[in-house]
Structure 1
Amino acid sequence: MSIYNKINAGFSLGTAGPVTSGIEDVVYIFNQDDITLTYDVANPLIVTGLTAVSAAKVYKFEGTNNSFNTTSKLAKTQVGPRYTEEIDFNIAGLSVDVKAQLMAMGYGRVKAITVNNYKDSDSAIELFGAVNGLIVTEAERNAADETLDGGYKIKLTNPDKLKEPYPPRAVSIAPQSGTATYASTIAALEALVA
Protein backbone atom coordinates (compact mmCIF):
# COMPACT_ATOMS: atom_id res chain seq x y z
CA MET A 1 0.00 0.00 0.00
CA SER A 2 1.30 3.43 -0.94
CA ILE A 3 2.05 5.97 1.79
CA TYR A 4 1.04 8.82 -0.50
CA ASN A 5 -2.41 10.35 -0.58
CA LYS A 6 -4.66 9.73 -3.56
CA ILE A 7 -7.53 11.81 -4.80
CA ASN A 8 -10.83 10.15 -3.98
CA ALA A 9 -13.57 12.61 -4.91
CA GLY A 10 -14.55 15.41 -7.26
CA PHE A 11 -16.18 18.71 -6.51
CA SER A 12 -18.24 21.36 -8.24
CA LEU A 13 -19.18 24.92 -7.49
CA GLY A 14 -22.44 25.18 -5.60
CA THR A 15 -25.15 27.64 -6.51
CA ALA A 16 -27.14 27.22 -3.28
CA GLY A 17 -24.22 28.27 -1.07
CA PRO A 18 -21.64 30.20 -3.09
CA VAL A 19 -18.20 30.61 -1.56
CA THR A 20 -17.84 33.73 0.59
CA SER A 21 -14.45 35.30 1.26
CA GLY A 22 -12.99 36.39 4.57
CA ILE A 23 -13.15 35.29 8.16
CA GLU A 24 -15.17 36.49 11.12
CA ASP A 25 -13.59 39.15 13.32
CA VAL A 26 -12.54 36.66 15.96
CA VAL A 27 -9.53 34.41 16.48
CA TYR A 28 -9.09 31.87 19.27
CA ILE A 29 -5.44 31.52 20.35
CA PHE A 30 -3.90 29.09 22.80
CA ASN A 31 -0.41 28.09 23.87
CA GLN A 32 0.85 25.10 21.89
CA ASP A 33 1.24 22.84 24.91
CA ASP A 34 -1.89 23.96 26.78
CA ILE A 35 -4.51 22.20 24.66
CA THR A 36 -4.37 18.57 23.48
CA LEU A 37 -5.85 17.91 20.06
CA THR A 38 -7.81 14.82 19.07
CA TYR A 39 -7.99 13.94 15.37
CA ASP A 40 -10.53 11.95 13.40
CA VAL A 41 -9.14 8.42 13.09
CA ALA A 42 -10.05 8.18 9.40
CA ASN A 43 -9.05 11.74 8.42
CA PRO A 44 -6.14 13.68 9.96
CA LEU A 45 -7.52 16.90 8.46
CA ILE A 46 -10.32 16.97 11.06
CA VAL A 47 -9.83 17.95 14.70
CA THR A 48 -12.60 16.32 16.74
CA GLY A 49 -11.58 17.40 20.22
CA LEU A 50 -9.76 20.05 22.25
CA THR A 51 -8.78 19.14 25.81
CA ALA A 52 -7.24 21.63 28.21
CA VAL A 53 -4.07 20.53 30.00
CA SER A 54 -4.63 21.28 33.70
CA ALA A 55 -6.54 24.57 33.87
CA ALA A 56 -5.28 25.98 30.56
CA LYS A 57 -7.49 28.36 28.61
CA VAL A 58 -8.12 29.54 25.08
CA TYR A 59 -7.87 33.31 24.55
CA LYS A 60 -10.36 35.07 22.30
CA PHE A 61 -9.26 38.10 20.30
CA GLU A 62 -12.05 40.13 18.69
CA GLY A 63 -11.88 42.73 15.94
CA THR A 64 -14.17 44.76 13.71
CA ASN A 65 -14.74 45.57 10.05
CA ASN A 66 -12.93 42.59 8.52
CA SER A 67 -9.72 43.35 10.39
CA PHE A 68 -8.61 39.69 10.46
CA ASN A 69 -7.31 37.56 7.58
CA THR A 70 -5.86 34.09 7.06
CA THR A 71 -3.57 32.71 4.37
CA SER A 72 -2.41 29.20 3.57
CA LYS A 73 0.29 28.80 0.90
CA LEU A 74 1.49 25.53 -0.62
CA ALA A 75 5.26 25.09 -0.85
CA LYS A 76 6.67 22.11 -2.74
CA THR A 77 9.63 20.53 -0.95
CA GLN A 78 11.80 17.50 -1.63
CA VAL A 79 9.79 15.47 0.87
CA GLY A 80 6.37 16.58 -0.34
CA PRO A 81 3.98 19.49 -0.03
CA ARG A 82 4.23 21.77 2.99
CA TYR A 83 2.05 24.73 3.91
CA THR A 84 2.88 28.16 5.25
CA GLU A 85 0.04 29.39 7.42
CA GLU A 86 -0.51 33.02 8.38
CA ILE A 87 -3.03 34.98 10.39
CA ASP A 88 -3.11 38.77 10.23
CA PHE A 89 -5.05 40.77 12.79
CA ASN A 90 -5.10 44.14 14.46
CA ILE A 91 -4.97 45.05 18.13
CA ALA A 92 -6.59 48.34 19.08
CA GLY A 93 -4.41 49.09 22.05
CA LEU A 94 -0.88 49.56 23.27
CA SER A 95 -1.01 48.84 26.97
CA VAL A 96 1.69 46.99 28.86
CA ASP A 97 -0.61 43.93 28.88
CA VAL A 98 -0.90 44.05 25.07
CA LYS A 99 2.88 44.32 24.75
CA ALA A 100 3.38 41.37 27.14
CA GLN A 101 1.02 39.22 25.05
CA LEU A 102 2.88 40.19 21.86
CA MET A 103 6.19 39.20 23.45
CA ALA A 104 4.73 35.87 24.61
CA MET A 105 3.44 35.10 21.10
CA GLY A 106 6.83 36.03 19.66
CA TYR A 107 8.85 33.71 21.88
CA GLY A 108 6.43 30.90 22.66
CA ARG A 109 4.41 28.95 20.14
CA VAL A 110 0.67 29.18 19.83
CA LYS A 111 -2.08 27.59 17.77
CA ALA A 112 -5.03 29.54 16.45
CA ILE A 113 -8.59 28.80 15.37
CA THR A 114 -10.50 31.02 12.97
CA VAL A 115 -14.10 31.03 11.74
CA ASN A 116 -14.68 31.46 8.02
CA ASN A 117 -17.47 33.67 6.70
CA TYR A 118 -18.34 30.75 4.39
CA LYS A 119 -20.33 28.37 6.58
CA ASP A 120 -21.55 25.83 3.96
CA SER A 121 -18.46 23.68 4.38
CA ASP A 122 -17.04 21.15 6.79
CA SER A 123 -14.09 23.57 7.13
CA ALA A 124 -16.11 26.53 8.40
CA ILE A 125 -13.86 26.53 11.48
CA GLU A 126 -10.12 25.98 10.96
CA LEU A 127 -7.04 25.35 13.09
CA PHE A 128 -3.71 26.94 12.12
CA GLY A 129 -0.32 25.74 13.38
CA ALA A 130 -1.49 22.24 14.32
CA VAL A 131 1.93 20.57 14.15
CA ASN A 132 4.60 23.26 14.45
CA GLY A 133 2.66 26.11 16.01
CA LEU A 134 2.71 29.80 15.13
CA ILE A 135 4.75 32.74 16.39
CA VAL A 136 4.40 36.48 15.97
CA THR A 137 6.70 37.37 13.09
CA GLU A 138 5.46 40.93 12.60
CA ALA A 139 4.18 43.40 15.17
CA GLU A 140 4.04 46.86 13.66
CA ARG A 141 2.72 49.98 15.28
CA ASN A 142 2.53 53.36 13.58
CA ALA A 143 1.31 55.89 16.14
CA ALA A 144 -0.07 58.14 13.37
CA ASP A 145 -2.01 55.36 11.59
CA GLU A 146 -5.62 56.52 11.82
CA THR A 147 -7.00 53.24 10.47
CA LEU A 148 -5.83 51.46 13.63
CA ASP A 149 -5.93 54.46 15.95
CA GLY A 150 -2.28 53.84 16.74
CA GLY A 151 -2.75 50.13 17.49
CA TYR A 152 -0.70 47.12 16.36
CA LYS A 153 -0.78 45.12 13.13
CA ILE A 154 0.11 41.52 13.99
CA LYS A 155 1.14 38.56 11.87
CA LEU A 156 1.22 35.02 13.24
CA THR A 157 3.00 32.49 11.05
CA ASN A 158 5.04 29.30 11.23
CA PRO A 159 8.54 29.51 12.71
CA ASP A 160 11.41 29.53 10.21
CA LYS A 161 11.88 26.20 8.39
CA LEU A 162 8.85 24.68 10.12
CA LYS A 163 6.04 24.64 7.60
CA GLU A 164 2.94 22.55 8.26
CA PRO A 165 2.58 19.09 6.67
CA TYR A 166 -1.16 19.64 6.08
CA PRO A 167 -3.33 22.60 5.12
CA PRO A 168 -5.29 24.19 7.99
CA ARG A 169 -7.28 21.50 9.80
CA ALA A 170 -11.07 21.57 10.03
CA VAL A 171 -12.35 21.75 13.60
CA SER A 172 -15.54 19.76 14.14
CA ILE A 173 -16.42 18.91 17.73
CA ALA A 174 -19.51 16.90 18.63
CA PRO A 175 -21.59 17.54 21.77
CA GLN A 176 -21.77 14.90 24.54
CA SER A 177 -24.34 13.00 22.49
CA GLY A 178 -24.98 13.57 18.82
CA THR A 179 -23.05 14.64 15.76
CA ALA A 180 -20.78 17.62 15.33
CA THR A 181 -22.30 20.84 14.06
CA TYR A 182 -21.10 24.38 13.63
CA ALA A 183 -22.94 25.35 16.84
CA SER A 184 -21.50 22.45 18.87
CA THR A 185 -17.97 23.32 17.74
CA ILE A 186 -18.34 27.00 18.69
CA ALA A 187 -19.82 25.94 22.04
CA ALA A 188 -16.81 23.68 22.71
CA LEU A 189 -14.42 26.54 21.90
CA GLU A 190 -16.29 29.04 24.04
CA ALA A 191 -16.25 26.59 26.97
CA LEU A 192 -12.43 26.82 26.93
CA VAL A 193 -12.24 30.61 26.62
CA ALA A 194 -10.62 32.42 29.56
Structure 2
Amino acid sequence: MPTIFSKITEGFSLSSASPVTSGIEDVIYIFNEDDITIQYSTTNPLTIDKLTPVNGGKLYKFQGTNNSFNAMSKLAKTQVGPRYTEEIDFNIAGLSVEIKAQLRAMGYGRVKAVVVNNYKDSNSAVELFGAVNGLILTEAERNAADEGMEGGYKLKLTNPEKLREPYPPRAVVTAPLTGTASYASTITALNELTEDAE
Protein backbone atom coordinates (compact mmCIF):
# COMPACT_ATOMS: atom_id res chain seq x y z
CA MET A 1 0.00 0.00 0.00
CA PRO A 2 1.47 3.40 -0.95
CA THR A 3 2.72 5.67 1.80
CA ILE A 4 1.14 9.09 2.29
CA PHE A 5 3.99 11.59 2.19
CA SER A 6 2.04 14.72 3.09
CA LYS A 7 -1.24 15.69 4.71
CA ILE A 8 -3.05 18.98 4.92
CA THR A 9 -2.74 20.13 8.53
CA GLU A 10 -4.31 23.59 8.59
CA GLY A 11 -6.20 26.17 6.59
CA PHE A 12 -5.50 29.81 5.87
CA SER A 13 -7.41 32.98 5.19
CA LEU A 14 -6.56 36.26 3.54
CA SER A 15 -5.45 39.03 5.84
CA SER A 16 -7.25 42.33 5.59
CA ALA A 17 -4.69 43.98 7.88
CA SER A 18 -1.69 43.07 5.70
CA PRO A 19 -2.81 42.02 2.21
CA VAL A 20 -0.43 40.12 -0.05
CA THR A 21 1.86 42.33 -2.14
CA SER A 22 3.26 41.21 -5.49
CA GLY A 23 6.83 41.35 -6.73
CA ILE A 24 10.32 41.04 -5.31
CA GLU A 25 12.81 43.64 -4.23
CA ASP A 26 15.44 44.83 -6.70
CA VAL A 27 18.13 42.70 -5.13
CA ILE A 28 19.14 39.07 -5.66
CA TYR A 29 21.82 37.13 -3.78
CA ILE A 30 23.46 34.50 -5.99
CA PHE A 31 26.03 31.93 -4.91
CA ASN A 32 27.89 29.04 -6.47
CA GLU A 33 26.41 25.68 -5.56
CA ASP A 34 29.57 24.45 -3.84
CA ASP A 35 30.37 27.68 -1.98
CA ILE A 36 27.57 27.64 0.61
CA THR A 37 26.17 24.77 2.70
CA ILE A 38 22.43 24.79 3.28
CA GLN A 39 21.05 23.72 6.67
CA TYR A 40 17.38 22.74 6.64
CA SER A 41 15.06 22.95 9.60
CA THR A 42 14.67 19.62 11.40
CA THR A 43 10.92 20.22 11.71
CA ASN A 44 10.10 21.60 8.26
CA PRO A 45 11.92 20.75 4.98
CA LEU A 46 10.55 23.96 3.43
CA THR A 47 12.62 26.13 5.80
CA ILE A 48 16.35 26.86 5.71
CA ASP A 49 17.84 27.70 9.11
CA LYS A 50 21.36 28.62 8.07
CA LEU A 51 23.67 29.30 5.13
CA THR A 52 27.30 28.47 5.90
CA PRO A 53 30.25 29.43 3.65
CA VAL A 54 32.60 26.69 2.47
CA ASN A 55 36.30 27.66 2.14
CA GLY A 56 35.52 31.37 2.14
CA GLY A 57 32.51 31.09 -0.18
CA LYS A 58 30.36 34.19 -0.51
CA LEU A 59 27.04 35.42 -1.81
CA TYR A 60 27.14 37.87 -4.72
CA LYS A 61 24.65 40.71 -4.55
CA PHE A 62 23.00 41.90 -7.76
CA GLN A 63 21.02 45.14 -7.48
CA GLY A 64 18.49 46.64 -9.89
CA THR A 65 15.94 49.44 -10.03
CA ASN A 66 12.28 50.09 -10.80
CA ASN A 67 10.95 46.58 -10.19
CA SER A 68 13.20 45.13 -12.88
CA PHE A 69 13.60 41.74 -11.15
CA ASN A 70 11.08 38.92 -11.11
CA ALA A 71 10.86 35.39 -9.67
CA MET A 72 8.48 32.59 -10.64
CA SER A 73 7.70 29.08 -9.41
CA LYS A 74 5.34 26.83 -11.37
CA LEU A 75 3.97 23.40 -10.44
CA ALA A 76 4.30 20.52 -12.90
CA LYS A 77 2.56 17.22 -12.14
CA THR A 78 4.72 14.20 -13.00
CA GLN A 79 4.29 10.44 -12.67
CA VAL A 80 6.39 10.46 -9.51
CA GLY A 81 4.82 13.50 -7.87
CA PRO A 82 4.82 17.28 -8.04
CA ARG A 83 7.84 19.13 -9.35
CA TYR A 84 8.45 22.87 -9.60
CA THR A 85 9.99 24.91 -12.39
CA GLU A 86 11.76 27.96 -10.95
CA GLU A 87 12.82 31.06 -12.84
CA ILE A 88 14.44 34.37 -11.94
CA ASP A 89 14.54 37.25 -14.42
CA PHE A 90 16.90 40.13 -13.79
CA ASN A 91 18.96 42.72 -15.62
CA ILE A 92 22.59 43.73 -15.69
CA ALA A 93 23.23 47.36 -16.56
CA GLY A 94 26.68 47.14 -17.97
CA LEU A 95 28.88 45.74 -20.69
CA SER A 96 32.37 44.67 -19.68
CA VAL A 97 34.64 41.67 -19.95
CA GLU A 98 34.05 41.02 -16.24
CA ILE A 99 30.28 40.93 -16.73
CA LYS A 100 30.64 38.56 -19.69
CA ALA A 101 32.81 36.28 -17.53
CA GLN A 102 30.06 36.17 -14.90
CA LEU A 103 27.45 35.33 -17.54
CA ARG A 104 29.61 32.52 -18.85
CA ALA A 105 30.10 31.13 -15.34
CA MET A 106 26.35 31.17 -14.65
CA GLY A 107 25.76 29.35 -17.95
CA TYR A 108 28.13 26.49 -17.19
CA GLY A 109 28.13 26.22 -13.40
CA ARG A 110 25.22 25.69 -11.04
CA VAL A 111 24.14 28.54 -8.81
CA LYS A 112 21.45 29.08 -6.21
CA ALA A 113 19.63 32.37 -5.67
CA VAL A 114 17.95 34.12 -2.75
CA VAL A 115 15.17 36.63 -3.44
CA VAL A 116 13.42 39.04 -1.08
CA ASN A 117 9.68 39.36 -1.57
CA ASN A 118 7.94 42.72 -1.37
CA TYR A 119 5.42 41.00 0.93
CA LYS A 120 7.12 40.88 4.32
CA ASP A 121 4.27 39.70 6.59
CA SER A 122 5.16 36.04 6.12
CA ASN A 123 7.74 33.49 7.23
CA SER A 124 8.60 33.16 3.51
CA ALA A 125 9.57 36.80 2.97
CA VAL A 126 13.02 35.57 1.89
CA GLU A 127 13.19 32.55 -0.43
CA LEU A 128 15.89 30.35 -1.94
CA PHE A 129 15.52 29.14 -5.54
CA GLY A 130 17.34 26.08 -6.90
CA ALA A 131 17.84 24.47 -3.50
CA VAL A 132 18.22 20.88 -4.76
CA ASN A 133 19.24 21.03 -8.42
CA GLY A 134 20.56 24.56 -8.71
CA LEU A 135 19.95 27.08 -11.48
CA ILE A 136 21.78 27.89 -14.70
CA LEU A 137 21.67 30.88 -17.00
CA THR A 138 19.35 29.88 -19.85
CA GLU A 139 18.82 33.30 -21.45
CA ALA A 140 21.15 36.25 -21.82
CA GLU A 141 19.81 38.79 -24.28
CA ARG A 142 21.38 42.10 -25.17
CA ASN A 143 19.94 44.55 -27.68
CA ALA A 144 22.40 47.41 -28.07
CA ALA A 145 19.59 49.74 -29.22
CA ASP A 146 17.23 48.95 -26.31
CA GLU A 147 16.83 52.31 -24.57
CA GLY A 148 14.89 50.77 -21.69
CA MET A 149 17.89 48.61 -20.81
CA GLU A 150 20.47 51.15 -21.97
CA GLY A 151 22.18 48.36 -23.88
CA GLY A 152 22.47 46.06 -20.85
CA TYR A 153 21.63 42.36 -20.54
CA LYS A 154 18.30 40.70 -19.77
CA LEU A 155 18.98 37.42 -17.96
CA LYS A 156 17.02 34.35 -16.93
CA LEU A 157 18.14 31.77 -14.38
CA THR A 158 16.16 28.53 -14.35
CA ASN A 159 16.50 24.83 -13.57
CA PRO A 160 18.80 22.75 -15.75
CA GLU A 161 16.95 20.70 -18.35
CA LYS A 162 14.95 17.80 -16.81
CA LEU A 163 15.97 18.84 -13.28
CA ARG A 164 12.99 20.58 -11.73
CA GLU A 165 12.78 21.14 -7.98
CA PRO A 166 10.92 18.66 -5.72
CA TYR A 167 9.66 21.48 -3.44
CA PRO A 168 8.49 25.05 -3.91
CA PRO A 169 11.13 27.70 -3.14
CA ARG A 170 12.42 27.26 0.42
CA ALA A 171 11.97 29.93 3.05
CA VAL A 172 15.21 31.33 4.47
CA VAL A 173 14.79 32.23 8.14
CA THR A 174 18.12 32.73 9.93
CA ALA A 175 18.35 33.46 13.64
CA PRO A 176 20.98 35.74 15.20
CA LEU A 177 23.50 34.29 17.66
CA THR A 178 21.08 35.08 20.47
CA GLY A 179 17.35 35.51 20.02
CA THR A 180 14.77 34.31 17.53
CA ALA A 181 14.82 34.42 13.75
CA SER A 182 13.18 37.37 12.00
CA TYR A 183 13.17 39.11 8.65
CA ALA A 184 15.78 41.57 9.93
CA SER A 185 18.10 38.85 11.26
CA THR A 186 17.83 36.96 7.95
CA ILE A 187 18.77 40.02 5.86
CA THR A 188 21.67 40.75 8.24
CA ALA A 189 22.94 37.18 7.83
CA LEU A 190 22.74 37.43 4.02
CA ASN A 191 24.60 40.73 3.95
CA GLU A 192 27.33 39.31 6.19
CA LEU A 193 27.97 36.66 3.53
CA THR A 194 28.10 39.00 0.54
CA GLU A 195 31.27 39.60 -1.46
CA ASP A 196 31.72 43.09 -0.07
CA ALA A 197 31.38 41.98 3.57
CA GLU A 198 34.20 43.17 5.80
Both structures adopt the same fold (TM-score exceeding 0.5): yes
SS in 2 for 1:104: helix
Q: What's the counterpart of residue 83 of structure 1?
A: 84
Deviations 1:91-126 (A, max 9, x none): 001100100000000000000000000000000000
Q: CA deviation at 1:4?
A: 1.2
Within 5 Å, which residues of 2 pair with 1:8-157? 8-157=9-158
Q: 1: CA distance between counterparts of 2:56 and 2:105?
A: 18
Which aligned segments of 4 or more residues in structure 1 are displaced greater than 2 angstroms?
none
2:146 is equivalent to residue 161 of structure 1: no
Query: What is the TM-score when the length of structure 1 is the normalising length?
Result: 0.99
Q: 1: CA distance between counterparts of 2:185 and 2:3?
A: 36
Deviations 1:115-151 (A, max 9, x none): 0000000000000000000000000000000000000
SS in 1 for 2:51: strand
Q: 2: CA distance between counterparts of 1:133 and 1:34?
A: 12
Deviations 1:148-189 (A, max 9, x none): 000000000000000000000000000001110000000000
How many residue pairs get aligned? The number is: 194
SS in 2 for 1:160: coil
Unaligned runs of 5+ in 1: none
Unaligned runs of 5+ in 2: none
Q: 2: CA distance between counterparts of 1:33 and 1:185?
A: 21
SS in 2 for 1:100: helix
The residue type equivalent to 1:135 in the other structure is I
The residue type equivalent to 1:32 in the other structure is E
